[in-house]
Each structure stands twice: as C-alpha cells, then as structure tokens.
Chains A and B, each alone.
Chain A
Amino acid sequence: MKTMSYREAVRDAIAESMRASDEVFIMGEDIAEMGGSMGVTQGLLDEFGASRVRNTPISEMAIVGAGIGAAMQGMRPIVEIMYEDFITLSLEQIVNQAAKHRFMSGGQLKVPMVIRTQGGAGWSPGAQHAQQLEAWLVHVPGLKVVFPSTPADVRGLLWSSIYDDNPVVFFEHRLLYPIKDEVPETLEPIPLGKARVIREGKDVTVIATGPLVHRALKAAEEAEADGISVEVVDPRTLQPLDEDGLIESVKKTNRCVVAHEAVTRMGFGAEVVAVLQEKAFDYLDAPIQRVGAKFAPLAFAPAMEQFVVPGPQDVLDAIRKTVAKA
C-alpha cells in the first residue's frame, strides 16, 4: 500500500488509462498548461502531448458532443466539465445524445466516454459553483453515474468508467481532492455497481455519498461514545445501484439514515429510501432519516452556506433520531 490524495488518485487513473491505450484522451477547459482548475490534470500535457490532452474553448455542448462523436468512432474520451453547475449547459448532449444513441440505434452503436465533473460547497463560491446535481443524471436511462468518496475508490472506479462501454457521468467533490488515504500499490480496477462498507457497525446504517461519507464517519465516532454502533456504506456507483449491498446492511442494523450534500428534496437519498421500503420494509425498526441540504440555492456568506449544507452534526442528529424510535 501507498498513500495518495484524491486529486492524485484521479490523475493517476487518467494517466494509467492513457498509458494503457491510445484510444483514451482528455479534453476540457483549462486542463492542459494550467492542469485543470482543480489541478487534477497537472503533468498530463507533458507526458501525453497536446493531441491527447486538449484545451477546449468554453463550449460545454461541443465538449460533450465531440466526445460522443469520438466515442462512436472507437475512442474513449474523457471530457471534463469544470464545474458540475456547468453540466447544465451540456445536458442536451448528455441526456438526448450520449444516453440514447445505443438505444435509438437498436444496439448498433456504443458511446464509451466519461464526463468528469466536480462540485461541492464549503468554500463560499455562491449559487453557481457548488451545486450537487447527481440525482438529475441518475434519472436518465442509458447513463451510468459514479460518485466516489475516497482516493482508492476514485482511482479504481475512474479506470473502470473509462473502460466501460457506456457514457459515465463521474462526479468528484472539490473538498475531497486534498484527502489522503492508502491506495493499492498498483491500480486495481473497481467494478461499477458495487457498494462498499466503509465502517462496520450494528445499530444503524448510514448510506452516504461523497463528502457525507466522511461527515458520517465523524458522526459515527461521536455516536460510538454514546454506545451507538454505526455502519457507513457508500454506494459509490449511483447507477447501476447495488441495491443488494444496501439492503444487506439494513437487514443487519434494522435502521437507516441516507445522507448526501445535495438538496434533500428529490435527492438521490429519496430513491434509496424508496428501494429500502420496497425491499427491506420488514427489517426496518424505525423510519429512515434523510440528511441533505436545505431547499435553497447556496448563499455566499459562510454562515448561510454552513446553515444550508449538512455537516457531521446533522448526520449525528439523524442517527440519534432513528435509534430513539426503537
């Protein structure tokens, strides 16, 4: 084992996949000389050259659309949408084109591409640079959606996404980039559609994504002091969803909290709750609690932003609530 930051792990997966195949290339805004607005793609231009590491104009529709065409012609493009908020500009291409070419052609085409993007609150960017929109994409048949929370997961899942034959929307989180953790010595692909138990526990399952995995771990430590044993499960892939993995944990603990940074209303957690009530209802000893952002655009002032975005305390409160309702 060695240690890598989440940022380095993303970069390593891109570089390793580009070393492995000439089909893989990357394009996006400011990714070449600048190395990406988050510094993720630093060094790639030097190693792979300007043909495979392409700075694009600020044209989100064309960036994604060109990726689709290249993918249909045998390439494996990685396209970067600088901020998740800007994915709104390319949604037509993602939703109507990338997701549907295989289907509309009756199986003649495939679109193997990765749309990498990142977002996340916690640094006061205001309302247009930190939204969490993953639920929008999970709603579209034909897309796969991945949202890893740790360096090891982001590395193995990005590799698998690049070599998947479908369009994959790959969510990273700004606050996770500096997080360091152990990763395998050499890159080990992680299959899409498998949840991971991050922390084992007996009394309540917290199903969390992205930064909420880490906030749930903090909450779990505090709950432990109160004698509550918390299991933290990260679905990692939101589509396809490892329903069995989540159900298995809930069958063991009989209580559940779902937690994400996105707005609670119609968030990914709502789908998880629906799946669990449908398939694990008899195992639940208490209503499932939801943790997410309050229903508001993100305000600029830090005090307001922190009020809206869920933190460890919100997860802890939800854990206590579900345990109290025995």
Chain B
Amino acid sequence: MSKTEKKRALTEDRLREFLREMLLIRRFEEKVEERFRAGELPGFLHVAIGQEAVAVGACAAMADGDVFGSTHRAHGHTLARGTHPNAVMAELYGKMEGCSHGYGGSMHLYDVERGNLGANAVVGGGIPAMVGAGLAFSMRDEPRVAIAFFGDGATNTGTFHESLNLAQLWKTRTVFICENNTWAESTPGWQHSPVWDDMSKRAVAFDMHSIKVNGQDVEEVFEKTSEALEYARSGAGPVFLDVETFRMHGHYIGDPQVYRGKEDRDEAAERDPIVRLREILQVTSEEWAALEAEVKEIVDVSVEFAKNGTDPQPEDALKNIYA
C-alpha cells in the first residue's frame, strides 16, 4: 500500500467494493452453515458472521508480499485476501481443488501465493510464526509485513505474550490484529481477561504502539490497518490493533449458545457491519437486489464447483509430510 493511497479518502466505489466483499463472505458463510447442517461438510467449522468488516478492511490494506496467519475462524480472511470462493468451498468439501488440496479443511485454509500462511486451530499457536516472518523481512530489509490475526481468547496464551515481547524487542515487521468479539468460545471476556474491554492494555505491557479500531466500520479498519502496516513496514516496530467486533453466531456451527443471553445476541445483530455500510452508502433496494443476486451466483457456483471436485485418494494421506 503506497502512502498516497493510504491518505486518500476512500471513494464510494471502493466502499461499494468493500460492501460487495463483505456480503460475499456473509452469504458464503451462511451457505457453509446450510451445507454443514445438510450433512455435506465434514469436520468442525466456525463462521465469523458479524466480523466481515475486519477481514475485508484489514486484507484490503495489505500489499503484495505481505503475509498473514489466521485462526480457526478463517473463511473471511481467506476470501478477503483474494482466494477464489471455489477454492475455499472445495477445501471445505475436502477436494483436491481446495486451497489446501484437501489436507487442511476449514481450520487450516492456506494460500501461500496470496500470503496466507495458514489458518491455525490452536488458539494462539499461529502468532509466533508471524513474529518470525516479520523478523525475516527486517533482517533482509524488505518492505513487507507479517500480520497475525487472533481473537481476544488468544491474548491469554503464553505464545501471545512471548510473541509481543519478542516482536517489540526486535522491532519485527509484524502487525497483531486482535479481533475482540468478547467471546473465547463460550466464555465471555469478563470471565477470561481482566482487560477484556480494553485489549490495548495488553500492548502497553510491551511498550508496543497500539491503535483502537471499531471493527464494524470497514473504512476505519482499512485506514487504521493501513496506518499500522506503514508503521511496521518502515521498521519502526510492530503494532497492536485492538479491534472491537461482534460475533453474531455461535462459536461453531451448531453451537446452541446456551451460555449467551438474548440481549447480547441482539446487540451483536444491531452492530451488523453490512447493514451499517449499506445505510451509509444509501444503497437502493434495486441495487441491493442486484448485489445479492451477484453474490448468490458466486456462492452457488462455488458449491457446484466443490461438489464436482476431485476426491483425494486415501493413499494421498501419506504425501506432503516431508519436503
């Protein structure tokens, strides 16, 4: 991302593009829920419905050559960074055409060509590698940044604290994006962290530059992530983005959310980032219908593509273990 582009106010066209991407991710994940419930998708899946603005804003701010590591809630990050919906859906169906060729699944989406170094299913487990990738960029003085996505729950892991300490100590080219949806699976923030309502305090302990972000405002996510990336890219040091967001659905698909009150669910629904942007852009109902139709087509095609994909041979399970 060049400086000029960062400072330029976002055009309406760009915002409409963001809206389209957010809607695509939303409808894609709703389709994933539907197909999972229909018994077509194996495994354990997690959607990030309500958090689309974080994925779209943050990934749009990344430059070619930047890399990122994601979490178990990775469909949005992967799609937003440009992996084709067909490749993501095919992965969820366990097909060779999937973005991890059927070896990963929903919790391990990779697309190395687009800088996706893997969605990680161990909470906090993927954070240190982004310190190391950022270190490699620093050592070679390359203007690239490694971005670690993680949730508020991960801020209680040892890897999180060790990683922030090391990154700040060595000024690695790393940006930490904390998607604080205030839920560590079923455990609310107030039960898991003394600073759950102000995660930037985590960065203070490491003397790390931190920025607060409204994660439901895609424009703000884009601008603040751009600012963070520029800072890290310059070699000034890592940045911690404290992004407040809302998980509108359960921890996993099928989660009855017995632990969560109606009030909390309603609040999340009221903070829907897509509704918000639609209102700001004053999208007419005709425009909206056209957008919905366009997105639906893409999602439906991805399901067809995935269903018609190639099943791996059982013996393929023994490949790709060693380089």
- A→B interface (CB under 8 Å): 25, 51-52, 54, 56-57, 59, 61-62, 64-75, 77, 92-93, 96-97, 101-112, 141-142, 144, 165-166
Q: What residues on B are CB-neighbors of A68 within 8 Å?
A: 128-129, 132
6 pairs of residues in contact across A and B, judged by CB atoms under 8 Å: A57-B165, A65-B128, A66-B131, A105-B100, A108-B100, A108-B110
Q: Does B321 contact A (CB under 8 A)?
A: yes
- Determine whether the beta carbon of B122 is less than 8 Å from that of A96: yes
- Determine whether the beta carbon of A106 is less than 8 Å from that of B136: no
Other-chain contact of A102, B133, B137, B162, B321 (Cβ < 8 Å) = B321
Give the CA-CA distance A56 to B165 in the complex, in Å: 10
Q: Smallest Cβ distance from B110 to chain A, in angstroms? A: 4
Q: Does B280 contact A (CB under 8 A)?
A: no
Give the CA-CA distance A204 to B267 in the complex, in Å: 75
A70 with B135: in contact, given A93-B125, A104-B118, A107-B101 (CB under 8 Å)? yes
Give the CA-CA distance A141 to B128 in the complex, in Å: 21
- Other A-B contacts than A57-B162, A64-B128, A104-B104, 16 sampled, CB-CB below 8 A, are A54-B170, A59-B166, A62-B163, A62-B166, A65-B163, A66-B135, A69-B117, A93-B159, A97-B128, A101-B117, A104-B103, A104-B110, A104-B118, A106-B100, A106-B320, A107-B103
- Determine whether the beta carbon of B112 is less than 8 Å from that of A67: no
| Chain B: CB-nearest residue to A112 | B323
Q: What residues on B are CB-neighbors of A103 within 8 Å?
A: 103, 320-321
- Determine whether the beta carbon of B118 is less than 8 Å from that of A101: yes
- Determine whether the beta carbon of A69 is less than 8 Å from that of B323: no
- B→A interface (CB under 8 Å): 67, 98, 100-104, 108, 110-113, 117-118, 120, 122, 125-137, 139, 146, 158-159, 162-163, 165-166, 169-170, 319-323
Q: What residues on A are CB-neighbors of B102 within 8 Å?
A: 106
| Chain A: CB-nearest residue to B100 | A106
Give the CA-CA distance A75 to B135 in the complex, in Å: 10
Give the CA-CA distance A52 to B135 in the complex, in Å: 11
| Chain A: CB-nearest residue to B133 | A69
- Determine whether the beta carbon of A61 is less than 8 Å from that of B133: no
Other-chain contact of B136, A61, A70, A93 (Cβ < 8 Å) = A70
Count of CB-CB pairs between chains A and B under 8 Å: 142
- Determine whether the beta carbon of B323 is less than 8 Å from that of A102: yes
- Determine whether the beta carbon of B169 is less than 8 Å from that of A57: yes
Q: Smallest Cβ distance from B68 to chain A, in angstroms? A: 11
8 smallest beta-carbon distances between A and B, as pairs = A65-B128, A69-B132, A106-B101, A69-B129, A62-B162, A66-B132, A165-B323, A59-B162
Q: What residues on A are CB-neighbors of B126 within 8 Å?
A: 97
- Determine whether the beta carbon of A67 is less than 8 Å from that of B165: no
Q: What residues on B are CB-neighbors of A96 within 8 Å?
A: 122, 125
Q: Smallest Cβ distance from A112 to chain B, in angstroms? A: 7
- Determine whether the beta carbon of B166 is less than 8 Å from that of A57: yes
- Determine whether the beta carbon of A97 is less than 8 Å from that of B139: no
Q: Smallest Cβ distance from B300 to chain A, in angstroms? A: 25
Q: What residues on A are CB-neighbors of B134 within 8 Å?
A: 69
- Determine whether the beta carbon of B129 is less than 8 Å from that of A97: yes
| Chain B: CB-nearest residue to A106 | B101
Give the CA-CA distance A294 to B118 in the complex, in Å: 42
A65 with B110: in contact, given A70-B136, A93-B128, A106-B320 (CB under 8 Å)? no
A75 with B139: in contact, given A66-B128, A69-B128 (CB under 8 Å)? yes
- Determine whether the beta carbon of B323 is less than 8 Å from that of A166: yes
Q: What residues on B are CB-neighbors of A51 within 8 Å?
A: 139
Give the CA-CA distance A26 to B139 in the complex, in Å: 12
Give the CA-CA distance A51 to B323 in the complex, in Å: 28
Other-chain contact of B128, A57, A61, A101, A112 (Cβ < 8 Å) = A61
A69 with B110: in contact, given A104-B118, A106-B101 (CB under 8 Å)? no
- Determine whether the beta carbon of B321 is less than 8 Å from that of A73: no
- Determine whether the beta carbon of A105 is less than 8 Å from that of B103: yes
Other-chain contact of A73, B120, B136, B158 (Cβ < 8 Å) = B136
| Chain B: CB-nearest residue to A93 | B128
| Chain B: CB-nearest residue to A68 | B129
- Determine whether the beta carbon of A69 is less than 8 Å from that of B146: yes
Q: Smallest Cβ distance from B120 to chain A, in angstroms? A: 8
- Determine whether the beta carbon of A106 is less than 8 Å from that of B104: yes
A108 with B112: in contact, given A57-B162, A62-B166, A73-B67 (CB under 8 Å)? yes
- Determine whether the beta carbon of B321 is less than 8 Å from that of A66: no
Give the CA-CA distance A108 to B146 in the complex, in Å: 18
Q: What residues on B are CB-neighbors of A101 within 8 Å?
A: 117-118
Give the CA-CA distance A106 to B322 in the complex, in Å: 11
Q: Smallest Cβ distance from B139 to chain A, in angstroms? A: 6
Q: What residues on A are CB-neighbors of B159 within 8 Å?
A: 61-62, 65, 92-93
Interface core residue of A69, A105, A142 (most chain B CB under 10 Å): A69
Q: Smallest Cβ distance from A291 to chain B, in angstroms? A: 31
Q: Smallest Cβ distance from A139 to chain B, in angstroms? A: 14
- Determine whether the beta carbon of B321 is less than 8 Å from that of A142: yes
| Chain B: CB-nearest residue to A89 | B158
Give the CA-CA distance A103 to B101 in the complex, in Å: 10
- Determine whether the beta carbon of A70 is less than 8 Å from that of B132: yes
- Determine whether the beta carbon of B130 is less than 8 Å from that of A69: yes
| Chain A: CB-nearest residue to B101 | A106
Give the CA-CA distance A54 to B169 in the complex, in Å: 11
Q: What residues on B are CB-neighbors of A73 within 8 Å?
A: 67, 132-133, 136-137, 146
- Determine whether the beta carbon of A141 is less than 8 Å from that of B110: no
- Determine whether the beta carbon of A105 is less than 8 Å from that of B110: yes
Give the CA-CA distance A66 to B127 in the complex, in Å: 9
- Determine whether the beta carbon of A72 is less than 8 Å from that of B133: yes
Q: What residues on A are CB-neighbors of B162 within 8 Å?
A: 57, 59, 61-62, 65
Give the CA-CA distance A66 to B319 in the complex, in Å: 26
- Determine whether the beta carbon of A71 is less than 8 Å from that of B322: no
Give the CA-CA distance A107 to B125 in the complex, in Å: 20
Q: What residues on A are CB-neighbors of B103 within 8 Å?
A: 103-107
Q: What residues on B are CB-neighbors of A104 within 8 Å?
A: 100, 103-104, 108, 110, 118
